Chain A
């Protein structure tokens, strides 16, 4: 137990230290190897950490031996470890897949590309593990700045515009978070999350506290791409290099959601958060708006990656819907979908990346009849799509099932109807791709397309298999999600 406490900070430190080294490495093989090895090591450490906190324990590591709350503390319970496992796991699977694709999309200076990737991941992991609110802001900016650079690596010139617009919106979001942190510090004189959680209830409720909560929620909603603050997301995911789209879709918005939950449930107590501001109603409206607008726009798209990006907006809606129920079951459903959606979107973006690589285009009109040329890739896409729609026995079904049960338990039957309608919309946009790829004839003048090499298909199928595995054996996902929800609520009363 104590040894894992000492090792746990290395989940962040390994990629953070490997990043600058990676920037100095020449060629293509070495930077990729260093990145993959660091993420695989971080994955093993995350798995060990999750195993150590699975019984409800909390690990605490004080940096530089400065005792918290004065020093910076890494504080890990089931909620952090669950999210860290998702990030490192998806990255470890996607990196072997991404190597030839990065060779094609970013032919030069791969050292600095992989360095940015490592720093972005280190930032995301830092946000996840830290127990200090100012540290959250710093890591948020570290990961965001690296992400802007990574998105700008896309071959299309529109990637630059997408990166710039994301930079403006992302910085506003992070600065909002900083304003919220400033108010918290002014009110309590501490930045440590656990310390804030004990001091805030005894602090007299004031307008300043309300404003702090508001700024933090809105700032993180921007990073989370919660409708209607999602405008940066579709272009960023569409024009970024395929590896980055897949990684961001699986991890970045999830981390923002985790921090938001940490603030709402742990730093502020839920009894305050949901009564000081009409958070439950506001989150529910935005979640439903995202579910419908995202699914609707996904149905309208002619670009496969943009379609998946809008689908992400819709899926973020499901997670936030679970949060807005303000029950333990709803929070469990949110964590469950956070994990499962990471798996399914990684699989979908990974197979879309193979199409982009072999076919040179992700426009649906260029994909006619491609299913017969690349059967393994498109079958993986279709099966991951089944998980996205939520058909048993997939991970997507499990998370929808828990979300619907949480809504029923809360007596909100109308939400179940809305969830089913948006699931049908997902069926429409996934089926459209399958129809175009398999049933339409390949145009005679279309360039010949070859199936990707099996070494690339293995990681994609691994992700697809994970979607089915976690649809049948839910010990890790449901167990982890309910432990995470309980760790956040921590026995406090929900309003």
Chain B
């Protein structure tokens, strides 16, 4: 036994010594590379006769946009033999595990928080973004979503394509007939309930009073992606240092508890279904049936709402074309309403402030394991040019991250872009610690929403102080989830 221990000890000592020796070699190797040479992989000749595997999102594939894109690209680079193909894999392909073994796509299109998880471990390449046509046109805030700092140096690892921001979906045909006289105080031809949460609250109450089976605004309030904005509006934030420092969790900062108060008030115009995802799942059919006046979701599902609404109208006896036309005219999207400065939804005459909302930037990144980095960059450049971004908007309804595109489009697209520029659209943190953020936050919000339906004496968040305490508690939970096992 003693002999075995001796042999093992010698082996471990040898291992450690060798570790140090090899460590020196690695350091030398690293020293060979400087910051400037990081982009060396993009400085070579364009690789010819290569196949690029491109991973785009499901909607782009289903709506036919992706096929058009690669067809146009392949035609342009036919003489070079460069062919882009669908990577044909799950949209949540695991680049970290597959990439090193030669699997996975060359180019990926995903949300910034998903893509940037790969950046920390260098699974996606830092890009020479100045070389791209879209460089000067894309909002600086959108570029920020793809920035990462490694060894005190800043790199950009993705190219923004479109802005994902939750929008307010509403049924125009459910507005009161006299809305211009009774619900347009500022006479700007926009119904008040679409402009402020206080008016939406009042209108929703009115709907409930008139018909027990109908609701005004409905949303699964437990979902942090859509509900965080209420807290951010009143000074809360997710992580410190512009969402890059997970050691500082600012959910309770400022008067964030006012956001909790708003969530609880909104819950009272809904029902217990706001505590889980029932409303989100039912929204398509309930909006189509006219049981909900409004809901909030991302623009990429607009076509699904329209299709459901059109089907409903068809079943009412309309022709297919008329039903579609009616749906498109009456199911509309707009940016989120303003919030009361007091955080009290019954305060209809008080001052209003701009609401904040959490969103994301979808874009392209290039795998570090690609054999054709230059061709991949060429594809990204092609896919993010003005024409293709406009085409993506036309076919998928997404909001471009390019200023020239949104200026040309105007309307809702320009509004969303302005939300981003003004800082009211808070981009989802691009750090992997977000994985530990969602479950505790979701549970907390579910508890908050449930509180609105508890008996008075059983309420956990009956005062603003208790709401603040709740936010502090969930912040600690998130901190513990991130750091306890680090």
User: Are chains A and B native binding partners rather than an unrelated pairing?
Assistant: no
Q: What is the interface of chain A, defined by CB distance below 8 A to chain B?
A: none
